[in-house]
Structures are given as structure tokens and as C-alpha cells.
Amino acid sequence: MDRIRIRGGKILNGDIQISGAKNAALPLMIASLLTGKTLTLRNVPRLADVNLLLRILRNHGVDMTVDGKRAGEDGSLGETIHLSAATIADTTAPYELVSRMRASFWVLGPLLARCGEAKVSLPGGCAIGTRPVDLHLMALEQLGGKIDIEAGYVVAKAPNGLKGNRVVFPKVSVGATHNALMASTLAKGETIIENAAQEPEIGDVAACLVKMGAKISGIGSSTLHVEGVDELKGADHSVLADRIETGTYAMAAAITGGEVTLKGARADHLDSMIAALRQAGVRIDVTQSAMRISRNGNRLYPINIETMPYPGFPTDLQAQMMALMTMADGVSTIRETIFENRFMHVQELARLGAEISLSGDTAHVKGVHKLTGAQVMATDLRASVSLVIAALAAEGETVLHRVYHLDRGFERLEAKLQGCGASVERLAAA
């Protein structure tokens, strides 16, 4: 397995182009199942999760082509993919594929809505928590789906099509909102989704569905109104900028000091993180199409944060913020309210010299004057990148193992950091 070696202590200066958001690209690709016409997606990040989902979609019968390089392109703006599900050849999403990526479970709603049946493996637990799917199933049942669990599979049927209804989520779920929204576009009549997740990635999918002919209002709010249509058409859509990647590089720049411009960043999707970084003493200048992060020798102040559904502080930036706070001048408190087991980075950060104590869902991070390089292990996507952030500031050499976690969600990570002066290199598996 590949490893990444980081020699810490280099100040970051330069520009980083922000990629398309993984968590928008995946559901956008799944939306191609809703139509027989071609969905063109631009700015799709080159990620292992995208490739895996392409395999899953191919298994359902989706044809796909990827544009080659065009004159003047340097490959920094993602790929253009054309997806065409003229006929759905197979409505089963098998365990071997779904178990490798949870988001693939989201094919359930679109397949059921379009084909009147779907059989999708239960995704099972994962490193960050148990992650049940009860809310997905509840929503699809409210839309008239008949759901059974058979031998580890969700078997859903709606032979006469789905019917619009009021879907009230007792708890905010990004994935269940995606599933309900996509399914309801083809349901008969009106659907009202209440307590919907408001993450910008849902707004991006909703905007694409509207281009495909769906009738959706309330986009960006917690109540979505959908008037079902008989069929959707093709569309051309560019994936929005990745706010989690943006936040990750903002914290990398903040921990090393220096000045980094994040090109294409959507600061308007990062209010809670920007507020927290400013409180920590990091300077952030926002322009229409970029964010400049700078810290020039001044101290880092400790902060207290709690992860929350959007627009609260994102759980997907919790580990990175913790890495930053290991170098703050005082004790920070970080509470994780979304996933019950999303602190696996704590032990690995401790290997670099961080002082962190855990009490239930809360971590107390006592800032230290220096971190020291060590061998560390990636456990999940965001935990891994928090170790990269800490390693950039650590004295000496850090080697990160199990890099495949990073490749699931960060496009050209080494190149982007190297471009700002970091010493980061991939060591290929022996």
C-alpha cells in the first residue's frame, strides 16, 4: 500500500485550485438513473469514490464516456462525464459494491422511482459509527414503497409508481434527504420534505434535478416541495466547489502560517468554519471566487466548537480543526454530535505529540508548542487528512500509512500542497 511522507515545518505560500465536491458529485452521478437521456457532469473530481460509483452505475446499465483533455486545460478542473441510463438493465446493487461505499445506497430511491423496484444491499456499519438507514426507508415507505429486508438486502417495490406525500424527518440526514428528493421527482403528485438537510451539496443536486425538468421549490431551506413529473430529461451541470476540501487547505495554511489563496472556493458555504478560524486568530479575506488564508507569526487562540448539520460546523471538518487546535495557545473543546465514533484521529495525533483527552462526545485539546513527526495510520478520509495537517507543522518526518483513505476524497493532494511549498511525497508500495 502507498504511503505519504511529509517533512514538516515548511510555511505554505501559493494558490490551490479547489476541486468539485465529492459529496455533490456522487449523488449527481446517481441522479443519472432517473432519466433515459444523457446527464453531463463537469468538474467531477478524480477520486477513488467516483471510480467506484461509476462501476456501480455501469452494473445498473448506465453508459458512460469521459472527455479527454482539451486544448488549454491543465487537468486542474476535474473531468467531464456523460452518463446515460437509456435502459436500467439490473435493479440490484450488490453487497460487494455497496459495502465499499455507503453513498452507493442512495441508488435505492432513484431505481425504485424509475423502475418500480430495487434491491440494494444494506451498507453496514463503518469506521465512524453505526450509520443506520432507517430514515431512508421511512421516507421511501411514505412515498408508497413497500420495503422488506431479505438476507442483508433492502427489497423495495412500487409496481404502480411512487406517490407524493408529506415526509417529515425526525432527524436531519444528508443521505436520506438525497434519496427522498430524487425519488419524489418521479412520484405522482406533490411531496413535501420537512426537516430536510440543507447542505449545499443537496442544493447542487436539486439545481441539477431542476435542469432535468424536476419541479422543486424551497431549495436551500429545510422544507422542500416537489411536484412529481412523468419523466426527466438530460442536463448539463457543473459540480460545485468542495467546501470540505476548501476548509481542509484553510487549516493546513493556518497551522503552518504563510498565505494561501484557495481558488474557486465558495466562502458562502463555510460561514461557521470561517467564524471559528477568525476566532482562532487566522486572517481570511474573501473575494467572489477565492478565499485567502493568512497567518503571519501570530499566535493561534483556542476555540470551542460543536459539529452540527449545515449551516453548523461540519463534522467533515472536525478532525482537521482538531489538528489545528493541537498547536493553539490553550485548551480547545470539540464536541462531535453527528457520528458517535469520529475521534479515531485522536490517538494518531497523540503519536505526533498532541495532548488530547476524550470524554464521551467531547475532546479537550491542550495546545502544545511543538509536534514531532512519527509513523501514523489513516483510519478514514477526514481523519487521515487531519494527520497530514498536523504533519505539515510537525518537526521532522511523518509517514502516513493506508493512504487509500485519502485517495477516496482528495484530488491531487500531494501536488496541491507541493505547489505551496510543502514537502509531501508519495512512496509507492514496495
Question: Is residue 169 a contact residue for ligand EPZ (CB under 6 A)?
Answer: no
Question: Residues 176-195: x/- map of binding to ligand EPZ (CB under 6 A)?
Answer: x-------------------
In terms of CB distance, is 127 or 229 closer to ligand EPZ?
127
Question: Is residue 28 a contact residue for ligand EPZ (CB under 6 A)?
Answer: no
Question: Is residue 383 a contact residue for ligand EPZ (CB under 6 A)?
Answer: no
Question: Is residue 243 a contact residue for ligand EPZ (CB under 6 A)?
Answer: no
Question: Is residue 133 a contact residue for ligand EPZ (CB under 6 A)?
Answer: yes
Residues 59 to 98: which contact ligand EPZ by CB under 6 A? Answer: none
| 262, 245 contact by CB (below 8 A) | no
Give the DSSP letter string of 305-359: EEB-STTSB-GGGHHHHHHHHTTSSSEEEEE--S-TT--THHHHHHHTT-EEEEE
Member of 134, 231, 271, 329 binding ligand EPZ (CB under 6 A): 134
Question: Is residue 204 a contact residue for ligand EPZ (CB under 6 A)?
Answer: no
- Residue number of the CB atom closest to ligand EPZ: 175
Stretch that binds ligand EPZ, among 62-70, 133-141, 251-259, 294-302 (CB under 6 A): 133-141
Q: Is 298 helix (H, G, I), strand (E, B) or coil?
A: coil
| 242, 206 contact by CB (below 8 A) | no
CB of 275 to ligand EPZ, least distance (A): 18
Question: Is residue 196 a contact residue for ligand EPZ (CB under 6 A)?
Answer: no
Cα→Cα distances 331→116, 151, 353, 417, Å:
54, 48, 15, 28
Member of 78, 175, 258, 264 binding ligand EPZ (CB under 6 A): 175
Q: Is 102 helix (H, G, I), strand (E, B) or coil?
A: helix
Cα separation of 223 and 182, whole Å?
Answer: 15
Q: Is 249 helix (H, G, I), strand (E, B) or coil?
A: helix
Question: Is residue 173 a contact residue for ligand EPZ (CB under 6 A)?
Answer: yes
Q: Is 126 designated active site?
A: yes
Report the chain's terminal Cα–Cα distance, integer Å: 8
Give the DSSP letter string of 379-406: -SHHHHHHHHHHHHHSBSEEEEE-THHH
**DSSP-based helix, strand, coil % in the chain, nearest 5:** 35, 30, 40
Question: Is residue 135 a contact residue for ligand EPZ (CB under 6 A)?
Answer: yes
Question: Is residue 104 a contact residue for ligand EPZ (CB under 6 A)?
Answer: no
Question: Is residue 327 a contact residue for ligand EPZ (CB under 6 A)?
Answer: no
Residues assigned a catalytic role: 126
Q: Which residue ranges make up the site for ligand EPZ (CB under 6 A)?
A: 23, 26, 102-103, 129, 131-136, 171, 173-176, 197, 315-316, 338-339, 381-382, 409
